[in-house]
Structure 1
Amino acid sequence: MKFVIDVNLSPEWVGLLATQGHDVVHWRDIGAIDASDDDILAWAVQEDRIVLTADLDFATAVATRGLRAPSVVQVRAGSTDPSVVGGFVVQSIANAGPALGGGAILTIDPGQARLRPGLGAIS
């Protein structure tokens, strides 16, 4: 899978997800750190990337606008430190598999993950 990590998360997420075989970039390495959520969403769509964020606004935008892309993984755990929650996030992404496409929203709370399939998800 291809990910873009939002600026509100540590760049350490890049290394963690890359070790799992994912293609990962951190937004700070490709865009302005004060870019709007809409700019990041548009770039993610253009580059076919899933947004990994701690910001609820991305999932809200995808859901309320009925977008078919991008998908969003939102980390809502008490900590967003990859050394603390990274293993659970990686496992949750793996469990979602191909369903994490088409505007899906994967919400990761402490000890649980919920997947809302997207409008363009594979049936």
Structure 2
Amino acid sequence: MKFIVDAQLPPALAEWLGGQGHDAVHAMNSVGVHAPDSAVWDAAKREDRVIVTKDRDFAVWASARRAGPQVVWLRLGNATTHSLLAWLEPRWPSILALLLEETRLVEVRA
């Protein structure tokens, strides 16, 4: 599966996803550090990538639009990279299963 990790999440998350066997890029390497959300959305759509984000805007867009990329919305407060990955790892199989079922918006709460 292909992912784009939004700019407010650490690049290490894209690396972790790559270690899980996925094709993952970080937004700052794909569309630039200060690119607007619309650029991330367009890149994900163009490259058939799932957006991984903490940004509510992407969740709203995924819910409101009929076409576009899938979104994994991580509902976690501020966390170190280590804490984020430790929190995500046990949840990942369920997230992936929902994505494979073509769920447009996967909301993951702390």
TM over 0.5: yes
Aligned counterpart in structure 1 of residue 96 of structure 2, from 94, 97, 103: 94
Q: CA separation in 1, counterparts of 2:3 and 2:78? A: 20
Q: Structure 2 length as normaliser, TM-score? A: 0.85
Structure 1, unpaired ranges of 5+: 111-123
Aligned-pair distance for 1:89? Answer: 4.2
Partner of 1:119: none
State the alpha-carbon separation in 2 of the partners of residues 69 and 14 from structure 1: 21
> Contact conserved, 1:16 with 1:82, CA < 8 A, in 2?
no
Q: 1:87 to 1:35 in 2, by over 3 A?
A: same
Residue in structure 2 matched with residue 83 of structure 1 by the alignment: 82
> 5 Å matches for 1:10-29?
10-29=10-29
Instruction: Count how many residue pairs are aligned between Structure 1 and Structure 2.
Output: 107
* Letter aligned with residue 83 of structure 1: H
Aligned to 2:44: 44
Aligned to 1:87, what secondary structure does the other structure show? helix
Identity of aligned residues (%): 30
Q: Per-residue displacement from partner, 1:47-104 (whole Å, max 9, x unpaired)?
A: 00000000010010121233x22000011123454522231342332332412x3x71
Structure 2, unaligned stretches of length 5 or more?
none
Structure 1 residues 40 and 56: CA distance shift in structure 2, 3 A:
same
**Counterpart-to-counterpart distance in 2, 1:65 and 1:94:** 22
RMSD after superposition: 1.8
Tell whether the 8 Å contact from 1:50 to 1:73 is kept in structure 2 after alignment: yes
Per-residue Cα deviation, 1:18-53 (whole angstroms, up to 9, x for no partner): 111110000111222221111111110000000000
Residues 76 and 20 of structure 1, relative CA distance in 2, 3 Å threshold? same
Which residue is 2:58 aligned to? Answer: 58
Residue in 2 that maps onto 1:115 = none
